[in-house]
Amino acid sequence: MKQKKSAYLITKPLQYINATNIPDDNNKDCFIVDYFKDSKIFYENISENSSYWDEIYYLRKRRNFYIFILKNKRKYKDIYMDSDQSFLAFIFSLIVLPIKIYTYEEGYGSYRELRDETKLIEKIKINIYKLLGSNNWLGGGTFTKGMFLYHPESFNNLVPKNKKKIYPFRKNFIDHANLLMKELGSLFDSKILDIIKNRDVILYLSSWEINVEVFSIIEQYPGYFTIIKPHPNIKNDIKLDNFDYILNSILPAELYIHQILIRCKNLIIVHENSSSLIYVGNIKCTEINLKVADHSFIIYNKIRELLSS
């Protein structure tokens, strides 16, 4: 009888790094969903350079992953997903039993409750999911067996109601990401490293949309070389009218920050609660968070404080 496989659902590049850091002795299939810019290029690069996977699939929608697994249910033993927080995910998790489902870290959103109880619509959703046995955080799904996190103690501090098992990754994020550069190296935009040598640099890590506040910040630092690292979910092309350089969004910003920092003269990072600043650790740069007036800023800062302690 053939050994049953594990299935990994990946909807953005950061998840790929974390998915390949999970201890798993099964044969593994990778499912890359077209939810980020240049996802097809990313898929083709992985298909050509990685020997980690048994099979690699490229899908247009998340629901295509659910349909594929249901049609091939007998092949799989474990499923690893970025999120279990939707009604469709609940139905899927129920139908695929006894396959085990796990979630894995996919950014700072993995360390907080997702829906705001102070908002009526959100509170209604929370109560509906509670009736289904699901909790209000990634990994809190009714049929989810556990979650893979880099900082379990911090998660338990921030989400004390969690009762699900937390599993460790093989390596810390940076060490594992550096190892992956062997297969991701051709996607790395190395030109920027020569351009910014000994220069003052502003690096803007965008959210799902370009925040116009960044332009007033740029005006305060004349002479700085300005770089934008677009969020991978921005699929439209960004014009160079407002920035000196546009980094390819196909790789996570974490893979660029340290390399830029050791080459430039001064670095200012402008962001909006970016997960990148969680993974790169304590670095010597000026940081400007455009979400400072947002309620999520309080949660984000608490996460940063706990993860750096």
pLDDT of residue 176: 93
pLDDT over 80 (residue 183)? yes
Rounded Cα gap, residues 80 and 6, in angstroms: 8
pLDDT over 80 (residue 194)? yes
Phi, psi of 123 (to 5 degrees): -65, -40
Q: How confident is the model at residue 17 (pLDDT cuts 50, 70, 90)?
A: very high
Q: How confident is the model at residue 149 (pLDDT cuts 50, 70, 90)?
A: very high
Rounded Cα gap, residues 303 and 309, in angstroms: 10
Please report how many Cα atoms fall inside a 13 Å half-sphere around the Cα of residue 27, on the Cβ side. Answer: 9
% of the chain residues with pLDDT over 70? 97
Measuring CA to CA, how many Å separate 95 from each of 2, 10, 65, 129?
22, 21, 14, 17
pLDDT of residue 309: 62
pLDDT of residue 198: 96
Average pLDDT, the chain: 89
pLDDT digit string, tens, across residues 64-82 = 999 999 999 999 999 999 9
pLDDT of residue 182: 83
pLDDT over 70 (residue 295)? no
* DSSP designation for 82: S
pLDDT digit string, tens, across residues 95-132 = 999 999 999 998 888 988 877 777 777 787 777 777 77
pLDDT digit string, tens, across residues 35-50 = 998 999 999 999 999 9
84 CB-near residues (< 8 Å, 6+ apart): 90, 93, 101, 103, 134, 138, 139, 140, 141, 143, 144
Check if the beta carbon of residue 228 is closer than 8 Å to that of residue 212. Answer: no
Rounded Cα gap, residues 8 and 18, in angstroms: 11
pLDDT over 80 (residue 232)? yes
pLDDT of residue 246: 92
% of the chain residues with pLDDT over 90? 56
When mean pLDDT is compared over 221-225, 236-240, 249-253, the highest value belongs to 221-225
